[in-house]
Structure 1
Amino acid sequence: MAKQAKSDRQKVIDDIRKKQKGADKRRGYMIVGVCVVVALLIVGAAAYRPVMNWIDLRGFEDLDLESIGAPASACGKVETKPAEGSNDHIPTGTPVVYDDAPPAFGPHWNELNVAPAPMDDKFYFADERPELESLVHNLEHGYTIVWYDETIADDEDAVTELQAVAKKFPGTDNYRYKFIAAPWTSDDADGAEFPDGQHIAYTHWSAGGEGETDPEKAEGVWQYCSEFSGEALEEFMIDYPYLDSPEPDAM
């Protein structure tokens, strides 16, 4: 009888151990499953924004430049001032303090692969933007630069809009597409803030007219906007094409 009781107890113990092992295995599967789900969520979150950016950009492909963004009324009048600094090359790495925010002309760097910035790069985020001294060299070569401030940089839709605009000026073969969209940061590295309520600035270094060679006629050109306007940009680039610059034939 005692032997039978011992056998029954052992069976109960074995059943408990078996159930415990099963529970441990199921718990292990659950932990693995949760880890997999978390990993997929992390990967999905990382991929979500690039995918959505791609989808958003596709939506602009069939739009004309003038149809993108706000109407031209979002921008103020074009402003100009006498320009200087053409062919004023200073050693790369030497900082320049520009009087204007942003600059439209002035001394600039001149080093292969550094200044001017390459024509095939049309849009920059803050952490990848060339130095101002390089971009001013682009202006000397006839580029139009669209500068955007921190307010725009913090707005994903506004940034996507500018990225889409940059894609309207592809490649390096057509000099009419000398265009760059670049961030402006109102800190010691860049300079003062844009005028109150303005978050976009178009700049161009004009020679004073297409084919003009008299440096006394050169001028910097600005147009500030509260938000991006493709309509205003198109008119700006028609009025101030790449040919109207100190060195239009240089890339």
Structure 2
Amino acid sequence: MAKTSKSSVRSDRQKVIDDIRRKQKSAEKRQGTIIVVICVAIAAAIIVAAAWKPVWTWVHQKGNSTKPLTEIGAPAADVCSDITRKKANGNQQHEPTGTQINYPDSPPAFGPHWNEPGQAPVPIHQRFYTEDNRPELEELVHNLEHGYTILWYDDTAANSPSMLADVKSIAARLDASDTNNRYSFKAVPWTKDDGDPFPDGKHIALTAWTVDSAGDQYGEWQYCSEPSGEAVQDFMAKFPYTNAPEPIGGYQPGA
């Protein structure tokens, strides 16, 4: 029986090794292709998600454009709790601008606030704010003192295209007259950095600072699970700017 030469054995072994290496390279190539495809798919999903929110918000807001205020969002009875109140303090209690004030309520309806000499509250002209351009809490409490109703929306509402569209639509409807004190209103975000979250299941809060016929001051709150134009209209009718400690509402520079 003929013996197999050593060179033949080495040649066969090399073929096996080369075959294994080819298979490994092929597998690595397929794996690399799969990873690239997955990364492209994830990037595309991120782009679509980022574009979807503002587009759907715009579409939903467009659908609200012809609705009266009371038909924007959900019916008040379906989504809002009863109004609550608390004895207020802080009227004319001015702190230096830049001083951080810790408010015990989420969100505040009254309390110490900033009042830089010669400055008005935050001007009436802009009704809707995002986290990027919202005035400081201490400035907004000054607006409450002067008769504003403030709608606060939390992160859940900010991240919901339909709820955000309803908030924007409510603010737009109350923008009928830039300087009409009856429309002393602002819609602003409430973030986790501002304080405790709203009560469970609530993503909208309405606040006002009022004075009753006996001269007692109160903070007024109403929490809702969704935006409700009906709730806003009823709240502002119940607590008009004229009921505030300093009812000048849409105060203009020089007034």
TM bucket by the smaller chain?
0.7 to 0.9
Which range is displaced more, 53-62 or 227-236?
A: 53-62
Whether 1:122 and 2:127 are equivalent positions in the alignment is yes
Tell me if the contact between 1:115 and 1:135 (Cα under 8 Å) persists in the aligned partners: no
- How many pairs align? 202
- Listed one character per residue, the Cα deviations across residues 105-159 of structure 1 (whole Å, up to 9, x for unaligned) are 0000113797622211101111111110000001001000000111101111211
Partner Cα separation in structure 1 for residue 209 and residue 69 of structure 2? 22
**Which residue of the partner structure matches residue 106 of structure 1?**
111
User: Which residue among 80, 95, 110 is the counterpart of 2:85?
Assistant: 80
Partner Cα separation in structure 2 for residue 96 and residue 246 of structure 1? 20
- Listed one character per residue, the Cα deviations across residues 198-236 of structure 1 (whole Å, up to 9, x for unaligned) are 111000000125xx6x3xx01000001111111122111
SS in 1 for 2:152: strand
Partner Cα separation in structure 1 for residue 149 and residue 125 of structure 2? 14
User: Which residue among 65, 79, 85 is the counterpart of 2:69?
Assistant: 65
Structure 2 gap segments, 5+ residues each: 1-47
Tell me if the contact between 1:91 and 1:109 (Cα under 8 Å) persists in the aligned partners: yes
- Listed one character per residue, the Cα deviations across residues 150-203 of structure 1 (whole Å, up to 9, x for unaligned) are 11011112111111110111143210000100000122xx11111111111000
Q: CA deviation at 1:58?
A: 3.2
Q: CA deviation at 1:86?
A: 0.8
TM-score by length of 1: 0.74
Partner Cα separation in structure 2 for residue 100 and residue 45 of structure 1? 34
Tell me if the contact between 1:115 and 1:134 (Cα under 8 Å) persists in the aligned partners: no
Partner Cα separation in structure 2 for residue 152 and residue 78 of structure 1? 20
Partner Cα separation in structure 2 for residue 153 and residue 48 of structure 1? 14
Q: Which amino acid aligns with 1:158?
A: M
Tell me if the contact between 2:203 and 2:225 (Cα under 8 Å) persists in the aligned partners: yes
Q: CA deviation at 1:50?
A: 6.0
Partner Cα separation in structure 2 for residue 94 and residue 114 of structure 1? 16
User: Which residue among 196, 200, 204 is the counterpart of 1:196?
Assistant: 200
Map 1:1-251; keep pairs closer than 5 Å. Answer: 53-73=57-77, 74-111=79-116, 116-170=121-175, 171-187=177-193, 190-209=194-213, 214=215, 217-250=216-249, 251=251
Partner Cα separation in structure 1 for residue 226 and residue 178 of structure 2? 27
Partner Cα separation in structure 2 for residue 149 and residue 229 of structure 1? 14
Q: Cα RMSD over matched residues?
A: 2.4
Q: CA deviation at 1:60?
A: 1.7
TM-score by length of 2: 0.73
Partner Cα separation in structure 2 for residue 239 and residue 232 of structure 1? 10
Partner Cα separation in structure 2 for residue 114 and residue 51 of structure 1? 38
SS in 2 for 1:243: helix
Pair 229,90 (structure 1): closer, same or farther in 2 beyond 3 Å: same
Fraction of identical pairs, as percent: 50
Structure 1 gap segments, 5+ residues each: 1-43
Tell me if the contact between 2:94 and 2:114 (Cα under 8 Å) persists in the aligned partners: yes
Q: Which amino acid aligns with 1:241?
A: P
User: Which runs of at least 4 in structure 1 moved beyond 4 Å after TM superposition?
Assistant: 44-55, 112-115
Pair 135,51 (structure 1): closer, same or farther in 2 beyond 3 Å: same
Pair 206,225 (structure 1): closer, same or farther in 2 beyond 3 Å: same
